[in-house]
Every structure is written in C-alpha cells, then in structure tokens.
Amino acid sequence: MSPKHFLNFKDFSKEFLNSIIERGLELKSLKNLPKTLENKSLGLIFEKPSTRTRVSFEIGVQSLGGNSIFLSSSDLQISRGEPVSDTARVLSSMLDAVVIRTANHELLDIYSQNSSIPVINGLSNLYHPCQILADLMTFKECNGDSEISKVAWIGDSNNVCNSYIEAAEIFNFDLNIYCPKGFEPNPEIMNSKKNNVVLTETKKDALKDAKIVTTDVWTSMHSENQSSEKTNLFKGYSVDPACMELADNSAIFLHCLPAHRGEEISIDMLDHESSKVWIQAENRLHVQQALLETLLLT
C-alpha cells in the first residue's frame, strides 16, 4: 500500500482534516499522553531555519513514545549531489516518517514519489499546510463549533496564504486577500479554485465581516533577495488594532510567526486582546501529534 503523504491540503477532505483537528484538541486536553508512537522514528530534513516546526515535531513524536532525528540538509549527502530519490529510498528503510522543509516544492514531490513512508511538508516555497492545521484548530478552540465564514489575509501572497487558498475551498469559507499589485497569489493556485477567494481593492473591504484576520512576514525565507524592494511597496499592508475594529466583532488575529513588529504588524498587535498567536504556536505541537498518529497508525 502506498503511504499517505501530507504535502498540501488539496489531497484531503474536510472530514479527514477535521478529524485531525479534533484529535489535536483531545491530545491537548490529556494530562498523560498515550504512547501511540512507541518505536516510531521521525526524520526531519530541513534546508531552512525553524523554531516552531522543528520543536513541535521533535517533542511531539517523543512525547508520544517515539523518537526523532534532525537532519540539516547541508549535512546530508544530498548537499554533495546524492539524488533525492536515492535518499528517499534509503531513509524509507530506516525511519517511519519524514518531515521536509525546503525552498523547492519540487524536491518534496520527487522525494515523496520515491518514499515508502509518509512525507510531511514542514514548509515549502509553495505551501505550509501544517501551519493552517494549527490555525484551524485555534479557531475551533476559541470559537467552539461556530463556522469560519470569512478570513482576511493582509500582505504578501506567500506559502502560508497559498495554504489558506486551499483551505478556503475545502472548508468553504470566503478568503479576502489584500496585497500589493505584483504580489498576488500564484495564478495556478488561485485559478484552480472556486471564486470564494477574492483580491480586494482596499484593506477595509478585506476586513469586513472577517472572523480571522491574519498576515505573515513581507519577505519569506525563499525570497530574501526581494526584501529591500518590498519595504516601501508593502507599507500599509499591515495589521494593527484599528484593523480589528473593521472585522467581525468576534474576530481573532493569527500570525504563524516569526513576526516583524513595525512591518506586517504594529508593535502592539501580538499582545492585542484579539490575538491568539501564542495559542496558535502551541497548537502546532498538538495538531501535528494528531497528524503523525493519523499518517502512521491508520
């Protein structure tokens, strides 16, 4: 049987993703975690820095009884030209699952095609699905069964935004994106979707009735060469407490972190009463434990 990979949202149903979120909430509520991943080994191949993704996966698997090994890609033979496909075949015989963080989504596709164990996207230049699982779990934790009707995305149309575009279709919510001209989402990702994803002309239009207001850094890890160009272009594409006044009155503010105060958010935004970013960051741990259980045990 071929393994289930978790590379983006579009391969999964709402029911499947909701069951992971429900299990994440259940695991979060437990005082003593079950040893469901005993004798399971998780590899983490990272080309890029990480705080949350690395720690949440490593501690996540260990606290369910399994173990983890961190593999900086610069230490692997991949960095000396060993084919990704060969690495995938070898590691499939030693590990039970792999998390990969890469600036080249194609590498994830090649790796997963040659892997007989589940491969998880721990962030690529195109998608960050684990982050959106934690965001959806956070909304559920803060709002119970009320549905997400609308999300406002302010700023760069990046990998995290792309995963929101996928989630909007699966979870059937409206997604308003307010971004500078020239920095719209990848047309292939936008065009394949229903028209519940809208680019708005103004920030006010994006925020109207939004239940989640969210943003991310103006410059992602795979596009650091655009940083100086963006500083001026992105002025105004930021979130501050005044934005929350324009959203639904129950709206929560989310940010995947790390954040740049004074750029995509005002200095007070992370600590604003609407901000759930610290819960959101913690939820990476619980929801990814649920994801690992689902991919490895079902």
* Residues known to be catalytic: 101, 128, 131, 216, 256, 284
51 binds ligand CP (CB under 6 A): yes
The C-alpha atoms of residue 129 and residue 221 are separated, in whole angstroms, by 16
CA 79 and chain centroid, separation: 26
Task: For residue 203, give both structure tokens.
Answer: 């920030």
68 binds ligand CP (CB under 6 A): no
Nearer to ligand NVA among residue 9 and residue 66 (C-beta):
9
Question: Is the dihedral angle over the CA atoms 127, 129, 50, 254 positive or is it negative?
Answer: positive
Tell me which residues in 121-150 interact with ligand NVA (CB under 6 A).
123
Q: How many residues bind ligand NVA (CB under 6 A)?
A: 9
53 binds ligand CP (CB under 6 A): yes
Nearer to ligand NVA among residue 66 and residue 122 (C-beta):
122
Q: Write down the least CB distance from residue 263 to ligand CP, Å.
A: 16
Letters for 219-258 (x = contact with ligand CP by CB under 6 A, - = none) are: -------------------------------------xx-
The C-alpha atoms of residue 98 and residue 210 are separated, in whole angstroms, by 35
Binder of residue 51, out of ligand CP, ligand NVA, none (CB less than 5 to 8 A by kind):
ligand CP
The C-alpha atoms of residue 52 and residue 57 are separated, in whole angstroms, by 8
The C-alpha atoms of residue 285 and residue 261 are separated, in whole angstroms, by 24
**Contact predicate 43/250, CB 8 Å:** no
DSSP 8-state symbol, 74? G
The C-alpha atoms of residue 216 and residue 255 are separated, in whole angstroms, by 6
217 binds ligand NVA (CB under 6 A): yes
Nearer to ligand NVA among residue 139 and residue 218 (C-beta):
218
Q: Which residue has the tokens 């978790």?
A: 6
Nearer to ligand NVA among residue 37 and residue 132 (C-beta):
132
Tell me which residues in 229-258 interact with ligand NVA (CB under 6 A).
256
Binder of residue 265, out of ligand NVA, ligand CP, none (CB less than 5 to 8 A by kind):
none
**Contact predicate 170/10, CB 8 Å:** yes
Residue 293: name the closest of 22, 14, 69 by CA: 22
114 binds ligand NVA (CB under 6 A): no
Where do contacts with ligand CP occur on this chain (CB under 6 A)? 50-53, 123, 131, 256-257
